[in-house]
Structure 1
Amino acid sequence: MAARKERLIHAHCDGVDYTFVRANRISHAWFGGPLDHEVTGLEYGPRKLHFIGHLGSRAIPALGSPSIFELPLVYGMCFNGGDITYRLAGFRKIEVLGMSERRSLDDWPYAGFPYLLPYVPLERATATPRSYADFAKRFPNLPDRPEGQLIVCVPPPATIGLSLWGSGDFEGVTIVFDCDLTTATVHAYNVTT
């Protein structure tokens, strides 16, 4: 019997629950890797934002609109508080609109945290009709209703060779990307179980 692959990214949009697992080939969805987008807007630092992943219209059909055709998942891993709002401002351009903390810490989420997360190509494992309420049961402390039309959750991965949160992995710290597809705006934050 084949081993079940870890679901690295979970998403909900238009009444469909999507899950993504490691792929054996380069694909149009991935976890980690370099952030090759131009980042403008609010100043922050000295550490850069982390590229958590990428989803496109082949992964989630709702991303095939004129206002948004790809979704870079960007997060301030080294910024305690971890609340960030950004807007997709054109091809490979991100404008940071707000951050709860704009100064990075040397020891957050733990000392020696890498500048890049491991690159893992992803494939869609499932696309299952499901209500948002049922989707949210897997991630305690999600809002009763998301701000946008697409919500993406990235729980602590066990199989990429890196801890996202150190001891916080045991607390189930999950990164949430709440995406308004009409304004191409993403509000990213974290919740714990």
Structure 2
Amino acid sequence: MTAPTILLLPGWQNSDAPHWQSRWEAVHGDRRVEQHEWMRPLRGDWSARLEEEVLASPGPVALVAHSLGCILVAAWAAHSRNTPKVQAAFLVAPGDLEREDLRQMIPGWAPIVRQPLPFRALMIAASDDPYCSAERSRGLAQDWGARYHDAGPGGHLNGESGLGDWPAGRQLLNELLKEA
């Protein structure tokens, strides 16, 4: 099977230089899906950009999402006819955009699409994520048909979490792709 193109799907405000997604882009050559508007994300616009990137990829893709990027994967998969191109989705630290404080900051993303994803998926979440409780992360994983991996304490699993190149995460992604 052809190795998939790794599409990085950052969350709100993009992934900064110390973020593992930025490190994976630099170290592994993964491709970031650049959104037109990182500060005021619109679900339809973000879904359209993901659709463009999936269609532009010559072969299969793997979606590597963080935070709002996880919510994007679910929303996109519910409407796209191109989901067969997705080999797997690696979903890290989803944001709970149904929580009132986050819904105010990032309007237009609630309710979260909760139908099963049509491809293999793995969700990794920390037990102390300030943007989504472990219970909510587990519930989203179950709704999406994703296997759940508890990362233990680690906050939002972002640049502030000190993951660096996050080799343990890359190993989990590689295992997921072997399964797919």
Q: What TM-score comes out, normalization by structure 2 length?
A: 0.28
Higher radius of gyration, 1 or 2: 1
- Highest RCO, 1 vs 2 (Cα 8 Å, sep ≥ 6): 1
TM-score by length of 1: 0.26
Which structure has the highest helix share of the two?
2
